[in-house]
Structure 1
């Protein structure tokens, strides 16, 4: 049973974008593992509060990520 946990910063992605992530990541896993695992492929999107995710000691905010997405 594949279990995929997608971690994102809260406030960055719309519900539609998160649904697209779920669908496309599921399809990628099923393409490798086989169609028989579709009913047991679990995907969860975990949202971390803005400012509570850090890289290299620097906390990132939703605004930081949105700026990177726009670039």
Structure 2
């Protein structure tokens, strides 16, 4: 079963963007593996609370990244 897990900072993507991610990811798996994988493809789009993620040993927040209040 093809599986993809996307994690985004909470509040930066809306429901329509999440839906687009699910559709495009499913289409990519179908392109690679054939139409038979469509019913078994799982795409998980998760939102991580601000400050609940990090990179290079630093806890990141939207404010630290200059993104506070932006909804892409």
Q: Is the contact between residue 11 and residue 62 of structure 1 (CA under 8 Å) also seen in structure 2? A: no
| Structure 2 unaligned residues grouped into runs of 5+ | none
Structure-1 separation of matches of 2:66 and 2:55? 12
- What is the TM-score with the length of structure 1 in the denominator? 0.80
Tell me, yes or no, if structure 1 residue 2 matches structure 2 residue 34. no
CA RMSD of aligned residues (A): 2.0
Q: Matched residue pairs, number?
A: 68
Structure-1 separation of matches of 2:16 and 2:62? 17
Q: Which runs of 4+ in 1 moved over 2 A?
A: 57-67
The 5 A counterparts of 1:52-67 are 52-63=52-63, 64=65, 66=67
The 5 A counterparts of 1:21-60 are 21-60=21-60
| Structure 1 unaligned residues grouped into runs of 5+ | none
Q: CA deviation at 1:10?
A: 0.9
Query: Given the superposition, is the C-alpha separation of residues 38 and 65 from structure 1 closer, same or farther in structure 2, using an over 3 Å criterion?
Result: farther
Counterpart secondary structure, 2:37: helix
